[in-house]
Structure 1
Amino acid sequence: MKFTGIKLAAITFAAAGLFAFNSLRSGSIKGTVSPAEGGVRAWAESSTDTLRAPVINGSYEITDAKPGSYKVIIEAKPPYKNAAKDGITVTDGQAADAGEIKLEK
């Protein structure tokens, strides 16, 4: 009986530990690049993370972003210059819309 109680307690602690790590769900950052052919890659930087995604047909979605504030940088191909947008906020499990980022020559 005592051994069964210890087993039950161990299983309870293990299950609680698994659920604790699942409480923070990652979100994403999506947006568009103009002109569409100018963007190569989208980068998202925070104080603890750097993520990237390809720009396809002028759109991108950076996944697995932890909740927090990000700076989005669009890596451009010549003759365009890289562009950035600061203050994109990702909340728990949500997609943040960075809107349109315009590239200049």
Structure 2
Amino acid sequence: QVVCSDGGLGYADAAPYDRIILTVGARDIMPAWHEQLKPGGRLLLPLSIRDTQLSVAFEKVGDHLTSLSARAAGFMLLRGAFGESGIHTQPGPDPGLYL
């Protein structure tokens, strides 16, 4: 089955899941991902915190997520309803040069 939709909403029709794996960076953990994860399930995502991105593995324990590991990573950021727009980084002092 192929579902084309905004991943920030998860996919409730087939929940709950043993694993949810994101292949795109996110600045937050969407409520749907937590809600659609089975107890003891794992959530793996590239989590952006300020200017750093970590690939973090979480386990759902009761009503919260516990971090199991975190490693440096680099993924493009989430797009769509939960993505960010208009973020520009100026790499140097030259005006008009943005990434």
Structure-2-length-normalised TM-score? 0.29
Structure number with bigger Rg: 1
Q: Which has the higher helix share?
A: 1
